[in-house]
Structures are given as structure tokens and as C-alpha cells.
Structure 1
Amino acid sequence: MANSVKQPRLRVISGAKAASDHVAGEMHEALSARAHLHVLSPLQPVAAQQLSLPWLNPTKRTIISLGLKGAVKADLVQVIRRYGIRRVADIRVSPSFRGRDFDLATITSLFHMNGITYQRFSSLANRFVGESLNPHVVLDMYERYVTNQEAALREFCEAVDAGPLLLLGWDENHSPSERSILIDAVARLGHTFELVVASLERGPR
């Protein structure tokens, strides 16, 4: 039980001698007071943790999810430099690069200059696009399909291990999308990784 703390008393001191006597008395009380010592348990070692902040390069086993709808070359360059991308996994049905400074030759050269390995995972693309006008139905069909693609999922995990890996899709939103469904399927395999959802900065082009 903690000792009660006395509230300080206010005293009115007049005259030099009275002030001197008062100071001497206070010093005597301070010197005679005994400090209360508390023995603290030594700190236990804590395992080092990776600090994951959006403006810092993530750890090696990291998936950066990006939708290319409306993207230009500058967007891709920014993501590559920001996250230190080493691998690119493209799961789009039609993995094309079109637009100003965004053609296939330009993007291929960009990957080559940055030492990035590009890989198209056609077996993990959503082959059910167009089979229903309801996008949720299409995603449900894709989820049932991709869950059973164990060999392709294992290959994707190997690419993640060699990352940081940039996962390319088409939809701007990460969830719900083929990318979020694929990542959930990979997680169910017991593969651990960090996920970063990158977004395009909409501004003047």
C-alpha cells in the first residue's frame, strides 16, 4: 500500500533571520529523510520487429497490390522505386500495356533497367470474365477456381519469396478483386507475407 503524501504547508516568513532559520530547517528535513528504494525486475529481451511504414521499403517477402486501370508509366515508376520491386506478377486476362509511354516495349525496357523479373500467371487469371453481367458472380466463380490451382499458387509463392513482388491487376480497388481473392488463397496455404495496397496518385498529367 502506497504511503500517503503530505500536502505542503504554506508559511509566511518575515525578516532575514527567520528566513535563514526556515531554510536551515528544510535542509535538515531533506537530509534526514530516507529514500524508498524499489527493486525492479530486469527487462526481458524482445525479438526485433520489422518496421513497416508506407514511405519505407518493405521487407523482402512483400506483395504490393496495384490496379492498372488509368495508370501511366510515371505511376509504375513511382511504385517500383518506392517499394524496391524485384518481381512482377501479372494476373490480368489481357496483360497489355497501352497508352502514352505505356506500351509493351517501354515497360519491358523499364523492368530490364531496374533488374525486375516480369512473369505472367495466365493460370491465375480470371477466365470467367464475361460469363455473367454480375461482377460478384464472376468473382465467386474465380474464387472457387483459383483455390484449386495449387501448383500455380505454389509457383506464385516462389515469386513472392524472391520479391518484393508487384501484383498487377486491372481494377483500381484492391477488394473485392482478383488480387484480393488470390492473396487470400495464398494465405490459406500458410504462406506468410506483408501486403501493401498501392494506389495511383490522381493529379495533373
Structure 2
Amino acid sequence: MIRTILFDFGDVFINLNKEATQNEFIKLDVSHLTDHLDEVNTLFETGKINSKVFLNEYQNILKQETTDSIVHAWNAILLDFPQHRFNFILELHKSQNYQLILLSNTNALHIEWIQKNVHFYEAFKNCFDHFYLSHEIQLRKPNPEIYEFVLTTHNLKADEVLFIDDTKDNTDAAKALGIHVWNIAPKTEDIVDLFTIKAELF
């Protein structure tokens, strides 16, 4: 029996365009992600460096660009947050039938954008019993440590947890620990259909 539902954020609730940031950086003359920038991105997403250091690293490469143009490119991945998905999690929260936990790989600049552009963000956040962002807990999917952190912190049994994420590497890592998973396909599936698509678990 599922007692805890563990949700990703991007392409589960908020829509993403995962190619947009790369396309914007190409316009700024970064045609590919260097090993250095890949490391910088990981450090930023795990809270090991702050936004100022992150932006300085990009400006060292994009010397002619302003901070604003870099932030714009970085946040281009973020699209809309459909109201019906917020309504879904709000009703699920009100039902009190499950422990609800959010577990997202994200960073301070993306969250700042969401706070400014998603008017119900705080209400959304309050729907969860626990709300974990990678840059705040300094752990990142698909590393097994992040799932073990959640299981241990909340004394959860893996076979009583369902984890929903759009990235297969992330769901595979959780599945290896005995957690039930739904590798959601954002273009054809919607979180609001959870109890239909995964009916066998409930």
C-alpha cells in the first residue's frame, strides 16, 4: 500500500522546455556545455556555490554579456504551471490520505523566477508535508543518497513510497532501492491522471 507520494517538480507540475536554455546560450556564443560549466551547474544545483559565484563563472566566458542576459538564458527552460495541476495537488493535500513530499533538482535562480511568476507558488509549497530542493539539501538526483536521505529522515518503507519523475535515470535509481516509480512522459501523460494510470498501486 502506498502511504507516501514523492514528486518531482519540473515537467510534473511546471512545464519545461529543456532545449531552450541551450538555445539561448548558443545565441550568447556558448555553443556547447564545457566540462567546466557542467561542473559549475552541478555545484550550483547542489548549493555548493551561490548565484553570484555561478553568474561570475558564466561571465568569465561570456565577457560581453550582462548578468541579466545570462539569467534570462538560464531561466528560459521554465514555462507555465497549469492551474489544473495545482488544483490536483491542493485536493490531494486536503484529502490527507497520503504523505506528500516534493524532491526536485533545482537551483536558486529557477526558484526565484518561479516565486515571481507563479502566483500560487507558496500555496503549492504548502500542499507538501516536506519540500526538498537540491540546492537546499545539497543532494541531487539520481544519486542514491538523496533517496536514502528521504527514506531515513522520515522512516519510510521503500515499498510504501511512489516516486514520480520525468527523467528515467532518476526513477531507475529510486526503483533500485525498492521504491515504486512512475517515469511520467510529459508530452502524453499528466500528473492529474495519477490514480488512473497507477491504479494498481492504490
Using the size of structure 1 for normalisation, the TM-score is 0.38
Considering fraction of residues, name the structure with more helix: 2
* Structure exhibiting the larger radius of gyration computed from Cα positions: 1
